Amino acid sequence: MRRLVIATRRSRLALWQAEHVKQRLEALHAGLAVELLPLSTRGDEILDRRLDQAGGKGLFVKELENALADRRADLAVHSVKDVPADLPPGFVLAAVMAREDPRDALVSKSFETLASLPKGGVVGTSSLRRAAQIAERYPQLELKLLRGNVETRLAKLDRAEYDAIILAVAGLVRLGLASRIRSRLDVDDSLPAPGQGALGIECLAASGEVASLLEPLNDAATARCVQAERGVSRALGGSCAVPLGAYAEEAGTQLRLRALVASVDGRRIARADCRAADPAAVAADAVAELRRQGASEILSTLGT
């Protein structure tokens, strides 16, 4: 192949990610020309509701998958955390790239930590996962919906609509906005979403030549960790409607996987911390431990 087309969302972060993949591919494969196909997704257009109320994670990827199915594009670049655990038939994540910092970031003009916010301090987030963990530890804070791209969210903070907001470290770093981070939240305080900080490249399962070109971009260690994290999400019906976190990291020859499921108000949280060599095995162990701690009952209250 001498030409590839990347389907991408139109946000500045999504375009950065797609451009990053374009540059890597062109550097790896002499003579290959890569173009971007920017598309607007429903997830970008619906800004007045939480994603779980608007249709879930698929809102960010459906239009890109349609472009693949219609052969208008050869691959799509996603933040893995935005990709549903189960892809439609005929689609594959052909590569998972080396991970950026997976943690959540506190961004504020006045406060260094969540603990330093006053009672009634307003924290902005669109994530049920983040909100549940903050509510558990800091019930005195007020959580307020925050939607839009990174720049829009920062602008709302700068207009004093919030005392602090929570964003992914990876997005801020990739946009050259790391200086806005007041503190990086420890994973034990704010467990990341499955796949957070990693870029995934999707293509049609039948596109063997495309998958072959993408193979050098796959980072085996990150892919193993992401497989374990997404295994938890898949088993528990992980979606934007479920406050669910999962983070795996290599620990010698094993994977250490931390996972949680929470009620929306953060009053009930089941946690697991498991180790195993195989991604599927450690995911199964974590799911079993979460269920032992009452995850099924928590999920039933969410309508899952």
Active-site positions read 82
96: three-class secondary structure by DSSP: strand
Strand order in the sheet with 3-9: 33-39, 3-9, 75-79, 199-204, 91-96
Give dist(CA 164, CA 167) in Å, integer.
10
| Residue 303: CA count within 13 A, CB half-sphere | 6
Give dist(CA 111, CA 238) in Å, integer.
32
244: three-class secondary structure by DSSP: strand
Distance of CA 35 to the CA centre of its chain: 25
The values of phi and psi at residue 79, to 5°, are: -75, 125
Both structure tokens of 103: 């943690």
Give dist(CA 95, CA 4) in Å, integer.
15
DSSP 99: P
Strand order in the sheet with 254-262: 244-251, 254-262, 269-276
Give dist(CA 183, CA 165) in Å, integer.
11
